[in-house]
Structure 1
Amino acid sequence: MLDTLGKIFERIIYVRLENHLEQEHTGLSKNQYGFRKHMSTIDAIKKVTNVASSAIAGKRWMYGTKEYCAVVTFDVKNAFNSAYWPHIMSALEHKRTPCYLLRVVSKYLSNRLLFYDTDEGPKEYRVTGGVPQGSVLGPLLWNVLYDGVLRLPLPMGVQIIGYADDIAVTVVGKELSQIQRLCEDAALKIKNWLTANKLQLAGQKTEAVLITSRKKVENITLNIDGYNIPTKQSLKYLGVVIDTRLSYKTHIEKACEKAARVTAAISRMMANIGGPSQNKRALLAKASQSVLLYAAPIWGPAMQINTYDKKARSVTRLTAIRVIRAFRTVSHEASGVIAGMIPPDIMAMEIKRASDKSRDIGRRLTTEERNEERLKSINEWQSRWDMTEKGRWTYKLIGNVKTWVERKHGETDFYLTQFLTGHGCFREYLFKYGHDDGTDCSFCGEGRESVQHIFFTCPKYEVERADSYKRARNSRKYCAPHDTM
């Protein structure tokens, strides 16, 4: 491990080397998306899916523009630890790296020792290859080495996309036989390059999916590195499941299942009585939301399909219920508003809009620009809240979503949530679900014991009610009890 001064020096070398490699005439391939500024997994996935969506778009197959698109992913055995140092230096020389940087990197990669403990005492091992794990320079040196495979000469319709050591090949063609031939030729070129650079392709881990808009499900079998690789119904690339129809149905299902497991795990820490405050619960809930909404700029539009959206809403509802400590019968609409959790389909589209806008202007969005996108989401959320038939009691208390979400005070608890939802220890509610034998108020007997009766009519709580009215009148701006929420 380097000391602090060594880390600072390494950062200086990194910046200078990066500036050199980002120049157009000596730069890295535009198809390498890993460890680079303003590039991410989303960009790599979008590159692959854009090629596929363009291929299957069009008017017709016969004499038309529709084509097949095969996506093939490759796995490299122990990639980072197998990087051959002389080949890294050769790649740097090929990039016309200044001599002083070549000398520094050469020294950086020499005389490396690994110290470790054994039952027989401490030992050391001389490291002769691999990019240093956890280092500042390591990822950049890997990109320099791997740049060669991304620049292999390939026929029209074939592209190689890289993210770190992950390789995806997209092949577009009109005939299945053409797709098969191009895939196998590209795989052979990749294998030969890896072998020449002392890297090894794990042929048995290769996966492929054939994307098409045809009704008939078609498949091909590729021969790669001596293994027969049949195309699958879907494959996972950088965390997103790409299926044959590019519908993202499988991805959304798996994301919902994973988010549900996260919700179940954190629910153990969020009992209705006691436990973390609402703010802490909301923070824990973001773990489930981040799992569900990963790569939303890619699959967000698919959430317009009600079946997919319904799966995501069910997960979000369970998460919101744990945040606000509500009964499990509370609807997605009401629980989401009280918890301040934007519906998943609206949130997915907000993330997509922000991502697209950031890409168009070539920089990160400012706080003001992000707030503009959030306001669009809240306005759409408000429209739904106004129109839905669910959670109407909650709507009477919290009619304005923006005001409620942006409030600077007040947290809900198990008892307040019962008032906000109408789902709680009220005879009307208990009778509805078979937990009581009647609905009459157990104190005054005048009408149904509903949440509205208890809080606004029943004489049992007349003193408390009068006190609440008094405190509301004494506030800076008096308003009706249902507006003070």
Structure 2
Amino acid sequence: IKWIEAYLTNRTQVVKLDGHVSDPLAVLSGVPQGSVLGPLLFLLYINDISSVAAEEGVQVKLFADDCLIYATITKLDDQLKVQNCLKKLDNWCRKWKMSINYSKSTYTHISKRKTIHSFPYSIGGHLLVHAQQFKYLGVTITRKLSWTEHIDNVCTIAYQKLYILRKKLEHASRDVKHIAYTTFIRTILEYSAVVWSPHQATLKKKLERIQRLAARFICSTYRRKESVTLMLQRCNLDTLELRRKKYRLKVFFQIIHDQLKIDKFKYLHPPGKINPRTNHDCVIKPYQTNTDMFQYSFFPDVVEMWNKLPNAIVVLNNVTDFENAVEAHLRDC
């Protein structure tokens, strides 16, 4: 503790511009940005904020300086609990001298109902804006849990970056273009795709179209008569849909083998009975779904894929071996 105290106290900062240095100014709060200890110390400082929400039965998720609270609303009393939670969060921030960015604070009702009983949520005397959608950790979430808006945003950004690469790397080698695409564009198309992987053909095509344009860019061939499928094969580019399936199965494997901090017993259960002729040794009880939204969400979708895998794949213990085997299996399907 003395080391941390010495690290944080009596610090000063200066501004250096064109060889001129300002007078030193004492740093009275905060943690040194860019330091190894900075993020850890910040998390320790705000760690007990979760207990504030728990007092009202409201769930809270923290990631760095992002705070998301959510609750199931069925009656007015539930809305009042959320409002009380917001008030306590504001009091906590005032006590510990943490500021809230009110302009970025919104609330959203996630529901299939056309009419929703609204509530004037506020924090620190500021009324929260009722948003139809919001971004959380880079993923656009809508009130109906549709991924269309998120995919539209992703595709727009990817198109813009691909246009820039075509201008900047017009005369670059195929290898350089390939690396540029997989580094700067495909990562955008696949960020958090384990969560939002679409089932609609139109959305799948929208994503694949960008990779097909990228294949033309990599091969420097824009003639319509040229086969884009052959270009993709020459560039060793699997379809984005195949890669999304592979990554969903990989995450599922990690959950089953306790490699991720997700309670598998909360979401996964053994089946009532196993048919040795149609089921492998590690079969999971399928989800009963009534809507496409739920059916194609992560757990129902990946459990169905998992149960269809060959026994030789599901019994593997190493995640790399599993990923390679799944990739080969999906290519053969």
Residue in structure 2 matched with residue 362 of structure 1 by the alignment: 258
Other structure's SS at 2:26 match? strand
C-alpha displacement at 1:313, in angstroms?
1.4
Alpha-carbon spacing, 1:131–1:377, altered in 2? closer, same or farther (3 Å): farther
In the superposition, the TM-score normalised over structure 2's length comes to: 0.75
Following superposition of structure 1 onto structure 2, how do residues 238-317 of structure 1 map, counting pairs within 5 Å?
Answer: 238-271=137-170, 275-286=171-182, 287-300=184-197, 303-317=198-212
Alignment of 1:182 onto 2:102: no
Percent same amino acid at aligned positions?
23
In the superposition, the TM-score normalised over structure 1's length comes to: 0.53
Residue in structure 2 matched with residue 161 of structure 1 by the alignment: 61
1:380-438 deviation per Cα after TM superposition (whole angstroms, max 9, x unaligned): 4xxxxxxxxxxxxxxxxxxxxxxxxxxxxxxxxxxxxxxxxxxxxxxxxxxxxxxxxxx
Alpha-carbon spacing, 1:117–1:192, altered in 2? closer, same or farther (3 Å): same
Residue in structure 1 matched with residue 222 of structure 2 by the alignment: 327
Alpha-carbon spacing, 1:306–1:118, altered in 2? closer, same or farther (3 Å): closer
Alpha-carbon spacing, 1:231–1:377, altered in 2? closer, same or farther (3 Å): farther
Alignment of 1:228 onto 2:181: no
Output the aligned Cα RMSD.
2.2
Following superposition of structure 1 onto structure 2, how do residues 7-406 of structure 1 map, counting pairs within 5 Å?
Answer: 102-117=1-16, 121-152=21-52, 154=54, 158-175=58-75, 177-214=76-113, 216=114, 218=116, 220=118, 221-271=120-170, 275-286=171-182, 287-300=184-197, 303-329=198-224, 330=226, 333-363=229-259, 366-380=319-333
Amino acid paired to 1:237: Y
CA distance in 2, matches of 1:378, 1:237: 33
CA distance in 2, matches of 1:338, 1:304: 27
Structure 1: gaps (5+ residues): 1-101, 381-485
Residues 317, 332 of structure 1: 8 Å contact kept: yes
1:440-485 deviation per Cα after TM superposition (whole angstroms, max 9, x unaligned): xxxxxxxxxxxxxxxxxxxxxxxxxxxxxxxxxxxxxxxxxxxxxx
1:194-233 deviation per Cα after TM superposition (whole angstroms, max 9, x unaligned): 110011222232122211133x153624223222224222
Alpha-carbon spacing, 1:371–1:245, altered in 2? closer, same or farther (3 Å): same
1:28-49 deviation per Cα after TM superposition (whole angstroms, max 9, x unaligned): xxxxxxxxxxxxxxxxxxxxxx
Amino acid paired to 2:258: G
Amino acid paired to 1:297: V
Give the structure, 1 or 2, with the largest relative contact order (CA under 8 Å, sep 6 or more): 1
CA distance in 1, matches of 2:216, 2:115: 41
CA distance in 1, matches of 2:252, 2:152: 24
Residue in structure 2 matched with residue 84 of structure 1 by the alignment: none
1:251-291 deviation per Cα after TM superposition (whole angstroms, max 9, x unaligned): 111111111111111111343xxx22222211011111001
C-alpha displacement at 1:362, in angstroms?
3.3
Other structure's SS at 2:222 match? coil
CA distance in 1, matches of 2:56, 2:50: 15
Amino acid paired to 1:212: S
C-alpha displacement at 1:332, in angstroms?
5.1
Alpha-carbon spacing, 1:366–1:224, altered in 2? closer, same or farther (3 Å): same
C-alpha displacement at 1:245, in angstroms?
1.5
CA distance in 2, matches of 1:156, 1:114: 41
Question: How many pairs are equivalent?
Answer: 272
Alpha-carbon spacing, 1:157–1:243, altered in 2? closer, same or farther (3 Å): farther
Other structure's SS at 2:162 match? helix
Structure 2: gaps (5+ residues): 261-317
C-alpha displacement at 1:379, in angstroms?
2.4
Residues 61, 67 of structure 2: 8 Å contact kept: yes
CA distance in 2, matches of 1:193, 1:318: 51
Other structure's SS at 1:276 match? coil
Amino acid paired to 1:374: E
- Tell which deviates more after alignment, 185-194 or 323-332: 323-332
